[in-house]
């Protein structure tokens, strides 16, 4: 019995060690995270989807800059490889047209309007020009597969940009690309409690997302920060990354002052929408 117990304990210790190695973020050579610490970032700009400044529009971004908030935004590619600022892979919710962003050229995309407003889908180039380094940026790369062209198209623009920024993605391969090609850029792993999302309720889909829910691809991507749905701040991997490994933690998406106050003790960066926050510092 002692031998069996010893083997069990050894196996448990080995599994624990492997788990801690799997979730370990970058530990050395980290970029300076001070420009983001305890800062507020307007989610897809300071938007109101019932107004003339809908999400990820130039009007919403200008409002965020004028208010002194950082900006969190999404970037993906059109059919002809132009980086545009848009969250959904499909166009139906925001533009009322069928198909995916990648099904249309940039010229075709520019014909659409955002939620009935006068606003067009911005190019990433015009977005960067408008912001001009006035506020820090969190740039979320949108990619569901192994195609890294979005990095190859977007990163040269960021290299020329003079302002403060970091990048994040749900796709750990995006972070791996930055780990290999641009290690000086602060990178963040986006994640969520996927099993609570309707599209992952089936046992097979839910099980397939568990490694990402528990940040088990960190060994590959070596993130500098973890951006997690604040409603599930108790995720053990998220907590260990912050408490044990001292990785920064970004909360998304805060939607009330009460949520912001609750998140203040567990997170270091705050991505918000649907209200105007009171503190922490904007810039």
d(CA 1, CA 205): 39
Q: Residues in the chain, how many?
A: 283
Classify 186 as helix, strand or coil. Answer: coil
d(CA 150, CA 135): 23
d(CA 197, CA 148): 26
194 with 120: CB under 8 angstroms? no
Helix (H) or strand (E) holding 76: strand 70-77
- Asked about 181 being catalytic, the answer comes back as no
136 with 163: CB under 8 angstroms? yes
DSSP annotation string for 124-158:
HHHHHHHHTTSS-EEEEEP-SSS--HHHHHHHHHH
| Catalytic hit among 87, 181, 196, 230 | 87
Distant-in-sequence, close-in-space partners of 120: CB < 8 Å, separation ≥ 6:
57, 58, 110, 112, 113, 114
Angle between helices 172-181 and 149-160 (to 10 degrees): 50
| Catalytic hit among 37, 43, 47, 196 | 43
175 with 222: CB under 8 angstroms? yes
Rg value, the chain, Cα: 20
User: Catalytic residue numbers?
Assistant: 43, 87
């Amino acid at each position: 019995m002692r031998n069996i117990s010893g083997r069990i304990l050894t196996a448990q210790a080995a599994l624990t060690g492997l788990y801690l190695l799997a979730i370990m973020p970058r530990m050395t050579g980290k970029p300076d995270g001070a420009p983001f610490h305890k800062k507020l970032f307007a989610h897809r700009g300071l938007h109101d989807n019932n107004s003339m400044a809908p999400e990820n529009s130039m009007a919403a971004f200008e409002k965020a800059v004028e208010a002194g908030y950082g900006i969190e935004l999404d970037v993906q590619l059109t059919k002809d490889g132009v980086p545009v600022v848009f969250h959904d892979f499909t166009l139906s919710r925001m533009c009322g047209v069928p198909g995916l962003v990648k099904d249309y050229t940039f010229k075709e995309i520019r014909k659409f309007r955002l939620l009935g407003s006068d606003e067009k889908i911005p190019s990433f180039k015009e977005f960067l020009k408008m912001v001009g380094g006035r506020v820090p940026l969190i740039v979320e790369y949108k990619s569901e597969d192994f195609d890294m062209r979005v990095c190859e198209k977007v990163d040269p623009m960021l290299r020329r940009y003079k302002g403060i920024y970091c990048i994040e993605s749900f796709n750990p391969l995006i972070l791996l690309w930055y780990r290999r090609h641009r290690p000086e850029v602060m990178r963040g792993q986006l994640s969520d409690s996927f099993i609570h999302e309707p599209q992952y309720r089936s046992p097979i889909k839910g099980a397939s997302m568990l490694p990402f829910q528990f940040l088990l691809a960190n060994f590959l991507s070596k993130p500098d920060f973890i951006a997690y749905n604040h409603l599930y701040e108790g995720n053990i991997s998220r907590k260990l990354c912050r408490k044990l490994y001292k990785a920064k933690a970004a909360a998304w998406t805060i939607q009330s002052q009460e949520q912001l106050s609750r998140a203040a003790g567990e997170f270091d960066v705050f991505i918000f929408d649907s209200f105007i926050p009171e503190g922490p510092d904007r810039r």
